[in-house]
Each structure stands twice: as structure tokens, then as C-alpha cells.
Amino acid sequence: MEIIPYQEEHRIFRASFRKFLEKEIIPHVDEWEEDGIVPRWAWKKLGDNSFLCTALPTEYGGQSADFLYSAILIEEMAKANFYGLSARLHSDVVVPYIQQFANEEQKKKYLPRCAAGDMLCAIAMSEPAAGSDVAGIKTTALADGDYFILNGQKTFISNGINCDLVIVAARDPREDNSHAAVDLFLVEADIPGFIKGKKLKKIGWRSQDTAELFFENCRIPRENRLGEKGTGFKKLMTNLQQERLICAIGAVTAAEFMLAETIRYCKEREAFGKKLSQFQNTQFAIAEMAAEVKIGRTFVDKLIVEHWQKCDIVTDVSMAKFWITEMAWRVADRCLQLFGGYGYCEEYPIARAWRDIRITRILAGTNEIMKIIIAKSILQ
């Protein structure tokens, strides 16, 4: 029995996206991983086929689709064993800030281009000395007449090279309250003073263009602040539930993929005259991983439904984000071990899956931060 009440239109959408990936994306993945970036045309094809920003109202170029469509997109991309094309960040993390908090003129200016794949988005929170600690950011936004002047540095910014529009978290240097000092600003990539730094070389997610961003006396219009003064921290906390759920969905799907690949391999590979699947050690490892993956999937599907129904599940999502990403890492490591030396070779999918899953324990708030959130909720 399915926990998520998928309808026929959801199943058709899943099949359509899967075919799109097989035809347009997967054949190019090795090339993009080598190049360290996904070309813009791939984003444009996603937009042309209505696979970006599906939740947006039709008046802004979206499909007015429910969150289940987003979950499907995230799952199918994870099944493809590819994270370089960070559409989930663009569509389900960054664009919702514009949809919820921008004025109508800005929505009409930006959202249709985001849905079409003509404008790519990023969000700039992390800094060299402030990752999960948003209140500790140093980037400043100083009011100056009809403008704000931004100064500071951001790092680990996904879509940092390809982005056309960035939502920047910055603080008012005149405000003593660290939380009330934070605001969010819309910054276009071609504005003077906005500098894209080097593309960071990473262990995994190699074709995902992660970069440093710099703001040097970058003047942006006053109306480009999202919402009222001092509300940036609250806005960030409001949308983190969805961001962390997205991370958990991707991680549990990746675990399912890795387990399926390993089962197939163990049924084919022979050692000492027997299939690997015939050894008790293999059987116990597969049984243990299968149980953990099933538990993770059941939990995630429950949260997908509750989030879709607009429930406040911040604590449960924090639990899912930390436990499922830890579980997926355990599965990755055990699966690679069962592949033996072949698992360490790039020609086998488990190698990329193993190095790509590691970052999920860090991004969207480290798992240590998740435990703090959970503990505060339980012990308050």
C-alpha cells in the first residue's frame, strides 16, 4: 500500500521525466563531470519541457503543481545517480523565496524566466566563517538613500557560476541584534560590484558549479530587499523545512539506487566458485541495508504527505535529514565494500554514488545542527 496518494497524472509525469533524463541528460553526465559544470543548454531544455519550477502558478510560467511533482523530480534525478544539475535547489529552494516575498513587479520580472530556464538562481548564505550559523554572517547591507550597499564574501554557493540571480543574506551593521540584523536581497549577476570567484573543486558533485561570491560596494535598489527590515532570518527558517525534506528525499532515493545496484552485482559476480549473493556475509549485509532503506523510505513518504498538506513538521524533518543522510552514507560505504576493488573505479556507478552522498550530511544544515534543533524541541 502506497503512503503517498499518487494519481495517474503523477505517474505520467514521472515516466515523462525519466524518459527526458535518459535521452537528454544521462548521455552527457560523464562529460559534465569531467568539465566540472553543466552547460546552460541543459537547464534550458528542462525549462522548455516544463520540468523547472512546477509549483509556480501558471501566470508566472509554472504548472500550479503540488509538492508531489517536486518529489518526483528529486527522486528521478537521484535514481539517475547525478547531482550536477541542481534543479531542486533552483526550483524548490530559491524560487519559493521570490514567489513568497518579492513584490508583484519582481515576480513578473523574474519568475517566468526562472521557469523557462533562462534565469538560474542561487542562494548565498554560507560564508568562510559562518556556515550553518546564519546569525553569524559578516556580509553587510548598508542603507544609502534609495540603495543598499553590499560588502562581503560568500562561499560554497551552489549554482554559483551559472547563476543569473542570487538571494543574498546580509546584515545591517548598525543593528546589534544578530537575528534582527539579517535581511535577504535580490542581486542580479551583472550588477557592478558582484564578482563570481573561482569554481571550487570538490570530492563529489563535481559538475555542480559551487563557487565563491564577492560583493564589493555592490549597490542594489532598496526595493530588492525581500520584505520588511529585519525579517531575513525568519524567512530563512520558514523555508528550511522544505529544503531539508528535499535533502532527505534525495538521500533515501540514492540509498535505494545503491542497494539495487549492489544486489544486481552480487547476483552476477563470482568468488571462490560461488556468487557473492550466496555468501552469508553478503546476505546479512543486504538484509540489514534493505531494512534500513525501507524504514527510511517509509518515514520520508510520511513527511512528503504531511509537508504537502502544509503541516508544521520542522522537528520530524530535522530527524529525517540527519538519520537518512547518515543511513545513506552507511549504505554507500557497505555497498562499495561489496563491490571490492571494482567499487573504487569510476566506471562503476557505485563510485560516483559513494562520493556524491557524503555532502548530504553537511548541506542544508549539518547533521549536528539537526540534532540541536531536535533536542531543543524535545527538551524545551
8 Å CB contact between 184 and 146: no
Q: Active site residue: 75, 76, 243, 256, which one?
A: 243
C-alpha cell at 356: 556524491
Q: Strand, coil or helix: what is 151? A: strand
Span 291-298, average pLDDT:
98
Span 327-340, average pLDDT:
98
Rounded to whole angstroms, the Cα distance separating 194 from 190 reads: 7
How many CB atoms within 10 Å of residue 202?
16
Per cent of the chain over pLDDT 70 is: 100
**Is the pLDDT reported for residue 274 higher than 90?**
yes
Q: Strand, coil or helix: what is 329? A: helix
pLDDT of residue 178: 83
Instruction: Give tens-digit pLDDT for 18-32.
Output: 999 999 999 999 999
pLDDT of residue 264: 98
C-alpha cell at 164: 543569473
**Is the pLDDT reported for residue 135 higher than 80?**
no
pLDDT of residue 345: 96
DSSP 8-class letter at 222:
G
pLDDT of residue 2: 87
Pairing of the two strands 165-171 and 121-124: parallel
Specify the amino acid at residue 3: I
8 Å CB contact between 291 and 259: no
8 Å CB contact between 114 and 52: yes
Specify the amino acid at residue 332: A
Q: What is the mean pLDDT of the chain?
A: 96
pLDDT of residue 177: 87
Between the alpha carbon of residue 152 and those of residues 172, 237, 339, the distances in Å are 12, 22, 46
DSSP line for 292-328: HHHHHHHHHHHHHHHHHTT---HHHHHHHHHHHHHHH
Between the alpha carbon of residue 238 and those of residues 9, 116, 246, 313, 374, the distances in Å are 29, 26, 14, 11, 16
Rounded to whole angstroms, the Cα distance separating 379 from 359 reads: 29
Query: Using only C-alpha atoms, what is the Rg of the chain?
Result: 21
pLDDT of residue 130: 79
Between the alpha carbon of residue 100 and those of residues 97, 227, 238, the distances in Å are 5, 10, 11
pLDDT of residue 329: 98
pLDDT of residue 41: 97
Residue 50: which region, alpha, beta or left (left: phi > 0; alpha: psi -120 to 50)? left
Instruction: Give tens-digit pLDDT for 203-225.
Output: 999 999 999 999 999 999 999 99
pLDDT band at 98 (very low <50, low <70, confident <90, very high): very high
Instruction: Give tens-digit pLDDT for 164-203.
Output: 999 999 999 999 888 889 999 999 999 999 999 999 999 9
Burial 180-196 (b: 16+ CB within 10 A, else e): bbbbbbbbebeeeebeb
**Is the pLDDT reported for residue 133 higher than 90?**
no
pLDDT of residue 67: 97
DSSP 8-class letter at 200:
P
Instruction: Give tens-digit pLDDT for 224-257.
Output: 999 899 999 999 888 899 999 999 999 999 999 9
pLDDT of residue 176: 84
Q: Strand, coil or helix: what is 153? A: strand
8 Å CB contact between 350 and 258: yes
C-alpha cell at 353: 554514488
DSSP 8-class letter at 191:
S
pLDDT of residue 104: 96
C-alpha cell at 28: 552527457
pLDDT of residue 290: 98
Span 298-307, average pLDDT:
98
Listed residue (80, 235, 263) closest to 170, CA to CA: 235
Is the torsion defined by CA of 153, 159, 161, 164 positive or negative? negative
Q: Strand, coil or helix: what is 121? A: strand
310 contacts: CB under 8 Å, gap ≥ 6: none
DSSP run (H or E) holding 212: strand 211-221
pLDDT of residue 10: 98
Enumerate domains of the chain plus CATH numbers. 8-119 (1.10.540.10), 122-229 (2.40.110.10), 234-379 (1.20.140.10)
Please indicate whether residue 22 is annotated as part of the active site.
no
pLDDT band at 12 (very low <50, low <70, confident <90, very high): very high
| Residue 122 phi, psi (nearest 5) | -140, 165
